[in-house]
Each structure stands twice: as structure tokens, then as C-alpha cells.
Amino acid sequence: MQAIGRSRTSPQSEKHAATTTTVSAANSVMPTIANYKSYSKKLFPLVPHHHDQHTAIEMTCADHPGLFSEISAALADLHCNVVEAHAWSHNARLACVVYISDQSTDSAIDDPSRLAYIEDHLATVLRATTNPGGGDHPDVKTSELLGGEGTMTTVERRLHQLMLSVRDFEAPSSPKGRKRMVTIESCDQKGYSIVSIECKDRPRLMFDTVCTLTDMQYVIFHASITSHAGYAFQEYFIRHVDGYALDTASEKERVMKCLEAAIERRVCEGVRLELCADNRVGLLSDITRVLRENGLVVVRADVETHGEKSVNAFYVRDISGNEVDIEYFRKSVKREMGPIVTLHVKNNDTTRRKTATATTVSPKGSSSLSFGGMLRSRIERLSHGFIL
């Protein structure tokens, strides 16, 4: 993360500077921006996305292992080709944005009756996975922000908004003694609220925090961002769009939780799998089915089509909490899909890998993963593969 300087304004020009800063910050964050609004939980009819000749669908619901596979299978059954898909899972919530085309024409789906059927079918799949008493209502609709230039940036912004709309920041209370990543203080002299963020640095961290503040209707007047020794330090002087600072403890707590959730959404512990194959209808369904049958939970997915090739990137973890068995998964992919799929693996869960390596051998010289433990793991994987 690069450091930027603090902006300076005089009291007389502060009002004008606030307007200028807001406009320039919004233009720098993303090419297409719209005011955040709360979406109702009713199902909206799908409409074709004519710009790219694809129909854009977004979905939110309570998450569970295998859900992304079920969504992919439903789209294949509906004879929809997945051109692009992005999914985030955080705090038992799933947000997903998918671009589809008609299987036979490879163009946007514009038949109202068919769109209604797709909507109803997907809603049924999501509704079947939702706990009736949990208060989480699935949503299927078309986003107004998708398409045009800078699609990836637009989709990432939209995923943040979707997660915010399903309140993924409402996680269980943090363990006692855990240091908060976000703190908020008051600057009474200027009428600002000072938001301080200290966390591990990573790509697009500033994008995530600025988008969240903007979507929550806060104006950034000044900012100071530095990075040192792998950690990022951000400081924002903000007010609400109505001109007032954060004046209640509940409002400050909500902003802190939302910012912490935005920081955590992109942090994926586990293994990154990249699978490349010739694109075809049902490919994503087949790949996610193999993942599910191997007991792998998808916590993030980025699927794109480049010409005749489909590039699928998944962050996965083992459903039983064990280290992902990469070699077993390689054999499963080859057995189920043949040599047409190219697989690349990147392990991001270094802490778990070191811990597993350090405890592999017991004092008696035998493997710490006992036969009973491996048997339980295999049973869990088999049971997971048959989830309906």
C-alpha cells in the first residue's frame, strides 16, 4: 500500500473542499458509482444485460457447505452458460454475482417467461438452504451497477454492498482480549470523527475501506495512509452526509464492525485452486461438484471466460478442518474430468500447514492422523458429497 499525504483546508473553504474531495474520491474508487440504497427482500424480476449480451444475476442468502455447487448445478439444469461468476462467503453469508447467457444462442436471455422461471428456480434453491427461523431471507435480482468498463471493480464494489445488505458484520462477539482493528475517536474542534484502522496490509485494502465508508453514507474529508513491516495504518476524518459526526456509541460500534467485516471478506485462509479448461455448458457445475465430493468448502470464487477457455479460481478449505489433501484432489479431478483440466495450487494457509507438519509424527513414531481420524474425515467427505 502506498502512502498518501494529508489534505489541508482552511475553515472558510472546508465546505467546498468536502464536496470536491467527495467527488474526486468517488471518481477514483470506481468508474461507475451510484448511491447505496437498501434493497427489500422481495424477489425482483431478472432483466437482460444488453451491453455485453449477458444476463446479470446477483444472489444473497445464508451460506452452507456446497451451496455454490448447488447454484452452479441449478444454472446448468436451466441451460444457462456461466460466462462469469464471483462469490464471497463471510460470517455464514453468501453474496454471488453471475453473468449468464443462453446455452443455444450464447446471448442474453430476454424471454420474460423464461427469466421468471430462472428467478423462481434459483429462489427455490436458495430458500431450501435457509433456516426458516434464522431471519435470513434469500434474494435473487439484477444489479443496476453491473456491466460497462471496469466490470471487475464494479463487481467487487457490488459484492461489498450485498454483504452489507445481509448484515454479515453481525458476527459473534470477538474473543475477550482481542485487539480491535478499527477505533473511532472524536475531533470536537473540527466536528470530525477520526477512524483509525490498523491491520495486515494486502492488495485493495484501501479500496475496501473507502467503499464501505462511502456506501454507509460517510464523507471523507482528510486521510492519512501508511504501510510498514507488512502492516497498514489508515486514518480517516469523516462526517455523515448530513454534516454530523458519529455521536452515539451504537453508531460508532456499527461503523467499526462494518469496516472490520470489509477487511475480512477478502482474507481467505486455505488453498487457492486454479482450474483452466475449454469452456462449455455445465463446466462450473462439474468442477464444483468435484470440490464438494472431496469435502472442500468454497469460501471465495472467481470464474471468468477468456475466448474458448474458462479460468476458475477457488479459495477452499476442508470441511472437517483438516489440511487439504492436494494429491487426492488432483487424482479426483483427473478421474472425474480427464486431462482436459489444468490445475494450479497455491497454499495460503501457512499457519495450518506448519502446525500440521510439526505434529505429523507422534512420540511412538506413528502418524498423528490415526486411522480412526482419517476414517472420520472420509465419512464426512462422503456425507458432504450427498448433501441435497
pLDDT band at 315 (very low <50, low <70, confident <90, very high): very high
Q: What is the mean pLDDT of the chain?
A: 77
pLDDT by residue (tens digit) across 29-47?
322 222 223 232 233 334 4
Better pLDDT: 215 or 247: 215
Domain boundaries, the chain: 14-30+173-265, 50-165, 271-385
Residue 94 has pLDDT above 90, yes or no: yes
The pLDDT of residue 136 is 63
Which three three-digit cell numbers place residue 75? 444454472
Residue 72's Cβ-side half-sphere holds a number of Cα atoms within 13 Å equal to 27
Return d(Cα 295, Cα 316) in angstroms, integer. 10
Better pLDDT: 369 or 257: 257
The pLDDT of residue 111 is 86
Beta bridge partners of 313: 274, 302
The pLDDT of residue 179 is 82
The pLDDT of residue 52 is 56
pTM of the model: 0.75
| CATH class of this structure's domain 50-165 | alpha beta
> In b/e form, how buried is each residue of 56-93, taking b as 16+ CB within 10 angstroms?
bbbbbbbbebbbbbbbbbbbbeeebbbbbbbbbbbbbb
pLDDT, mean of residues 45-62: 69
For residue 260, give the H/E element and its range. helix 249-265
pLDDT by residue (tens digit) across 186-245?
998 889 999 999 999 999 999 999 999 999 999 999 999 999 999 999 999 999 999 999
pLDDT, mean of residues 82-104: 94
The pLDDT of residue 173 is 54
The pLDDT of residue 134 is 54
The pLDDT of residue 361 is 32
- What percentage of the chain carries pLDDT values higher than 70? 70
pLDDT band at 347 (very low <50, low <70, confident <90, very high): confident
Q: Which CATH architecture has domain 271-385?
A: 2-Layer Sandwich (3.30)
The pLDDT of residue 307 is 87
The pLDDT of residue 371 is 40
Residue 23 has pLDDT above 70, yes or no: no
**What CATH topology corresponds to 14-30+173-265?**
Alpha-Beta Plaits (3.30.70)
The pLDDT of residue 129 is 65
Helices (H) and strands (E) in the chain, counts: 10, 12
pLDDT by residue (tens digit) across 98-157?
999 999 888 888 888 998 899 899 999 998 866 655 556 788 875 544 444 335 678 999
Query: Would you say the CATH fold of 50-165 matches that of 14-30+173-265?
Result: yes
